[in-house]
A = this chain, B = another copy of it.
Amino acid sequence: MISVDVATHIVQSHLLLLPEVSSGLLDSHGKVLRESLLADRDFPPFNRVMMDGIAIRYETFASGIRVFPVEETLAAGGEAVSLTNPGHCIEVMTGAVLPEGTDTVIRYEDLEFGREETPPVVKIVMDRVKHGQNVHWQGSDHLSGSVLIEKGVKIGAPEIGVAASIGKTNIQVSSQPRVAVVSTGDEIVQVNETPLRHQIRSSNGEVLVVSLREMGIFPDRFHIGDSEAAVNQMISELLKQYEVIILSGGVSKGKFDFIPDALEKQGVVKHFHQVAQRPGKPFWFGVKGENERIVFALPGNPVSTFVNFVRYVKPWLERSLGLPAAMPMYATLAEPIFFGPELTFFLQVKIEAGEDGHLFAVPVKANGSGDHGSLLYGNGFLELPPERSEFLPGENYPLWLYRSLTGMASGEMM
C-alpha cells in the first residue's frame, strides 16, 4: 500500500502527450491553447477616442481659448480625418480614430454646444483638462507582434475575445483523448432497467461520463459483468481503441474481481493497487507501453469512485491536455474531526465563503462510501493527512473542489 503523495507522483509521471488539432474559434472555448497568440497589429490599432465629445489640440486650450468652432463630426468606424485649423475642434465618437492634428478629447459632460451657429461652436466649461486625456494611444496595450497569450492556458471567455480581435477563426488546441468509461459487476443493471431485489442501477458510469464532459471530453460507455471470459474479452478490445480506460468496480479483494488479472494479462503493467486513503483504497493504476494506454481501475463504491476521479484522474487529464500542474486550494476546518486509521482521509465538506474572505469547510454527514447521496450536500473533499487522528477547527487543509464555488446552485453560495 502506498501513500497518497506517492500515488499522485506515479500517476502524474505517466502523462499522455496529446497531439494538437485545429478548432473553430467558438468551439475552442474550454480547450487548451497550443499556439501562442500574437498581436497582428498594434492594440489599439490607432489613437482611439475613449469618450464621445470633441478632439482639440491641447496647446490651444492651454493658451486660454475655450470656444472652438466644430469642423466636422467623426463617428466610430469613419475614416480618419485631420483638423485643418488648430483653433478648431472635431466632434468625435467613442471608438473613432483621433483626428490628425488633435491630441486631447473633452467629453460631452464638460461642454456646451451652440449648434445654431454656422459653423457650430462648442464651449469647454471645465478647467481641468489634461494633455492627451481620453485617448487610448496606438500600441499602448500591445505592440504588433507581441505575445498576447502564451500557449498552455485553458481558453475562457477573455481568451476568446482576444483571439477574435486578432482574427483567429481557427485555433490550435489539444485534442481530446479517447476515453472509455467502464462499469463492472453482475449486480449492476442499466438506468432504463428495473433492478431485481439484489441488483442496483448503474450510476458511477454516468457520474464519470458527465464529469469528463465538464472537461470537454466525451467518453464512450461500457459495462462488463463478472465472467472472467467477458472481462478478458472486453479489456482486450478496449485496449485496442482507447488511450484512457476508467473502470469502476471489480478491484477489491473479492473472489470475482478479475479486472487486475485481466489487465496484467493484456500487458498493462500495474504501478500500484492500494492507496493508503479512505474512501477509495483499492485503487488500481496501470500503464501499457510507453504511456500509450493508461488504466485507472477505481473501487466501485460511489464516493470512492468519485474521490479518486477528482483527486487523481482529473488533475492527470488536465496535465495531459497541456495545462500546468494545479496548485491546491486550502480551506479552514469548521468542526472537529476524529479519524483513527493511519490513512489519508478525504472528508466530504461544504465550503462556505465567509464575509471575511475566508473559506470554511463544514463536514457533510456521510454514511460511508456507499451513500452517493452525500455528494449532493457538499462541494469538495478536505484532504486530512494520515499522521494525525484529531483535526481541530481553525486548521487549514488542502481542498479538492468538485463543484466550483460559483457553480454551486444550492442558494447558499455563489
User: Which residue numbers of A lie inside 8 Å of B, CB to CB?
Assistant: 25-26, 29, 32, 43-46, 48, 50, 52, 73, 75-80, 91, 93-97, 108, 136, 140-142, 148-149, 152-154, 156-162, 164-169, 185-188, 191-204, 206-207, 209-211, 213-214, 225-226, 249, 252-257, 300-302, 306, 318, 323-332, 353-361, 367-368, 370-373, 375-376, 396, 401-414
Contact = CB atoms under 8 A, between A and B. Distances in A.
A377 B214 CA distance: 23
25 contacts: A29-B210, A29-B214, A50-B301, A52-B253, A75-B256, A77-B187, A95-B200, A96-B187, A97-B197, A97-B198, A136-B371, A148-B373, A152-B411, A154-B407, A156-B402, A157-B306, A161-B372, A161-B375, A162-B372, A165-B201, A326-B414, A330-B356, A332-B356, A357-B396, A359-B359
Given A29-B213, A226-B77, A357 B356 contact: no
B94 A46 contact: no
Nearest to A213: B29
B409 A407 contact: no
Nearest to A321: B409
Given A26-B213, A324-B410, 17 more contacts: A26-B209, A26-B210, A44-B200, A44-B370, A75-B226, A94-B252, A96-B198, A152-B411, A156-B402, A161-B375, A164-B203, A167-B201, A168-B191, A169-B191, A327-B412, A332-B356, A401-B406
Given A43-B373, A191-B169, A256 B93 contact: yes
A207 B156 CA distance: 9
Contacts of A185: 76-77, 95
Contacts of A414: 326-329
A25 B206 contact: yes
A93 B367 CA distance: 19
Q: Which 3 A-B pairs have the closest CB atoms?
A: A77-B186, A404-B404, A324-B411
A196 to B, nearest CB: 8
A76 B185 CA distance: 7
A226 B78 CA distance: 10
A214 B216 CA distance: 11
A358 B358 CA distance: 4
A78 B167 contact: no
B405 A329 contact: yes
A76 B326 contact: no
A334 to B, nearest CB: 10
Nearest to A201: B165
A164 B191 contact: yes
B78 A198 contact: yes
B157 A211 contact: yes
Contacts of A255: 52, 73, 75, 91, 93
Contacts of A407: 154, 156, 404
Nearest to A92: B254
A316 to B, nearest CB: 13
A167 B191 CA distance: 5
Contact of A157 (B160, B165, B207): B207
B80 A197 contact: yes
A271 to B, nearest CB: 23
Contacts of A45: 195, 197, 200
Contacts of A199: 77
Nearest to A204: B161
A407 B327 CA distance: 12
A157 B93 contact: no
Contact of A50 (B142, B186, B368): B368
Contact of A357 (B80, B204, B211, B360): B360
